[in-house]
């Protein structure tokens, strides 16, 4: 009977969330209620064990390090310097400012992995300039939302750092598996902006008076001083993980130190920058790790009560083909992304889905990559798209929600094309993990 009772944990969790209880505390509260109801005093020991597991998980140590790195890049003005450097090369392309914003999103995502921070930085840098050049507000909104969302799809992603241990999959394998789909997404975004602004110049007006001319010497100078150091930082983080030279936590530590040294070299490092970065790191890390702890407690009670066995038997008993069951899991993840943040979706769905995925014989890395792509798509999809709420917070009133909703649609279609390519051609996600080989970097 307890296993059927455990199924009520999900409706109660949704009830608490819609009542305004923060997701971390909602999961802890539901876990405590059902734990005491089903197991009595023993539940206290079980829940404390989950807290200890979260606190001693070495992989999760990478979370504050990656957040600190992104905070330093933002507060020390390194992201602004990068945007200017990219703009030198893209200024005279069709939709050059949009192209520059997407490239900055790609670089910043590869250097920090924090989605909200990426979108906020790109928006604050690019929106005033794009408005000054009379860019179409729908295109502007779509570009900023899409480029900011690349923090999920391009490693190192904080979401991947959390997903790996929960799914029981190597974080290094997930990083390498996600790299090609993430870059495909960025390339499709770039091609769309260039093609649409070439066919419809009125979307991104580019008069002769607006054209900026940079000599090759200027371009090379800005590349050496801004782009190459950023590339070195990205290799320090991502390259060392993919080559098996460092664990994600070690690479994150090197990246955090590298960002501080970079800020020091640019003479932008100050006590105010360090203090602001540390405060931001503590705030975001506490939020993420509280959600992870709540998710572990929730999943622990659900598993112990036999809920997993019931869900598994229900899915397998539908008589659906394995592909249909997989599609159903991804659809649930997509819908959950409307109302929950990414971490919560990972912590609620992945513990339930992974045993089913393994039972059906699907590759674990491949499924996790597809799951992350669908999660990123839900992050952009109206009406409850988190990316739009981030954008709403940093845009002037003249850019309306209607502009944002219409602007993200083409980018959602492009993300679905990437998802389709991952599902139909598994090697898109599996080629790099197979080529890299080596140990399962945990």
Look at the alpha carbons of 345, 417, 92, 208 in this order and tell me if their dihedral is positive or negative.
Answer: negative
| pLDDT for position 233 | 84
Q: The tokens 């001693």 sit on which residue?
A: 56
Lowest mean pLDDT among 108-122, 178-192, 206-220: 206-220
pLDDT score of 86 more than 50? yes
Instruction: Judge whether 441 lies within some domain.
Output: no
Q: What is the pLDDT of residues 26-38, one digit of tens each?
A: 889 998 998 888 8
Instruction: Judge whether 229 lies within some domain.
Output: yes
pLDDT class of 366 with cuts at 50, 70, 90: very high
**Is the previous residue joined to 383 through a cis bond, with omega within 30 degrees of 0?**
yes
pLDDT score of 3 more than 70? no
Residues 65, 48 contacting (CB under 8 angstroms): no
pLDDT class of 438 with cuts at 50, 70, 90: very low
Instruction: Judge whether 211 lies within some domain.
Output: yes
- The total number of structural domains that make up the chain: 1
pLDDT class of 146 with cuts at 50, 70, 90: confident
For residue 338, the SS3 value is helix
| pLDDT for position 236 | 84
Angle between the N-to-C axes of helices 42-55 and 271-304, in degrees from 0 to 180, rounded to the nearest 10: 140
pLDDT score of 431 more than 70? yes
Instruction: Judge whether 163 lies within some domain.
Output: yes
For residue 112, the SS3 value is coil
Instruction: Judge whether 96 lies within some domain.
Output: yes
pLDDT score of 392 more than 80? no
pLDDT class of 320 with cuts at 50, 70, 90: confident
Instruction: Judge whether 64 lies within some domain.
Output: yes
pLDDT score of 209 more than 50? no
pLDDT class of 212 with cuts at 50, 70, 90: low
Lowest mean pLDDT among 209-223, 247-261, 343-357: 209-223
pLDDT, mean over the chain: 83
Mean pLDDT computed over 206-233: 72
pLDDT class of 204 with cuts at 50, 70, 90: confident
Q: What is the pLDDT of residues 284-300, one digit of tens each?
A: 888 878 888 888 888 88
pLDDT score of 439 more than 60? no
Residues 75, 277 contacting (CB under 8 angstroms): yes
Angle ∠(421,425,427) on CA atoms, nearest 5: 115
Residue 154 Cα distances to 73, 80, 278, angstroms: 17, 20, 24
| pLDDT for position 440 | 41
| pLDDT for position 2 | 56
pLDDT score of 53 more than 90? no
Q: In the chain, pLDDT over 70 holds for what percent of residues?
A: 93
Instruction: Judge whether 270 lies within some domain.
Output: yes
CA distance 285 to 44: 25
Residues 424, 379 contacting (CB under 8 angstroms): no
Mean pLDDT computed over 138-155: 85
Count the residues in the chain. 442
| pLDDT for position 365 | 93
Q: Which two tokens stand for residue 41?
A: 């005093």
Instruction: Judge whether 442 lies within some domain.
Output: no
CA atoms within 13 A on the CB side of 92: 8
The model's pTM is 0.81
Better-predicted residue by pLDDT, 339 or 428: 428
| pLDDT for position 181 | 93
Mean pLDDT computed over 322-333: 89
Domain span including residue 205: 2-436
């Amino acid at each position: 009977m307890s296993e059927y009772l455990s199924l009520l944990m999900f409706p109660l969790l949704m009830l608490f969330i819609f009542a305004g209880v923060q997701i971390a505390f909602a999961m802890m509260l539901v876990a405590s209620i059902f734990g005491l109801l089903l197991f009595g005093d023993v539940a206290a020991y079980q829940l404390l064990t989950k807290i200890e597991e979260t606190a001693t998980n070495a992989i999760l140590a990478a979370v504050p390090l990656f957040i600190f790195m992104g905070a330093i890049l933002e507060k020390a003005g390194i992201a602004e310097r990068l945007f200017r450097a990219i703009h030198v090369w893209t200024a005279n392309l069709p939709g050059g400012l949009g192209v520059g914003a997407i490239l900055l999103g790609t670089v910043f995502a590869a250097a920090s992995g924090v989605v909200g921070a990426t979108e906020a930085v790109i928006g604050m840098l690019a929106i005033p300039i794009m408005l000054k050049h009379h860019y179409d507000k729908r295109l502007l909104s779509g570009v900023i939302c899409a480029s900011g969302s690349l923090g999920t799809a391009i490693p190192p992603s904080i979401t991947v750092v959390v997903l790996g241990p929960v799914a029981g999959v190597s974080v290094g394998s997930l990083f390498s598996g996600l790299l090609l789909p993430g870059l495909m997404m960025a390339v499709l975004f770039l091609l769309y902006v260039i093609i649409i602004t070439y066919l419809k110049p009125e979307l991104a007006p580019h008069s002769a008076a607006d054209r900026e001319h940079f000599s090759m010497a200027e371009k090379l100078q800005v590349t050496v001083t801004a782009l190459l150091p950023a590339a070195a930082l990205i290799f320090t983080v991502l390259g060392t993980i993919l080559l098996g030279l460092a664990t994600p936590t070690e690479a994150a530590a090197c990246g955090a130190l590298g960002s501080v040294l970079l800020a020091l070299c640019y003479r932008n490092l100050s006590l105010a920058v360090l203090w602001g970065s540390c405060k931001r790191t503590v705030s975001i890390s506490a939020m993420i790790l509280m959600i992870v702890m709540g998710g572990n407690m929730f999943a622990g009670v659900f598993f112990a009560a036999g809920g997993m066995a019931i869900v598994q038997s229900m899915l397998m008993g539908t008589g659906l083909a394995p592909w249909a069951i997989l599609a159903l899991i991804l659809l649930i993840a997509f819908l959950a992304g409307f109302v929950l943040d990414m971490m919560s979706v990972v912590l609620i769905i992945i513990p339930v889905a992974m045993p089913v995925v393994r039972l059906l014989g699907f590759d674990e890395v491949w499924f996790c990559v597809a799951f992350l792509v669908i999660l990123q798509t839900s992050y952009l999809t109206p009406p409850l798209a988190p990316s739009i709420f981030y954008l709403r917070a940093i845009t002037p009133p003249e850019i309306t929600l209607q502009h944002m909703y219409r602007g993200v649609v083409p980018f959602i279609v492009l993300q679905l094309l990437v998802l389709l390519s991952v599902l139909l051609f598994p090697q898109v996600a599996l080629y790099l993990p197979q080529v890299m080989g080596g140990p399962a970097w945990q």
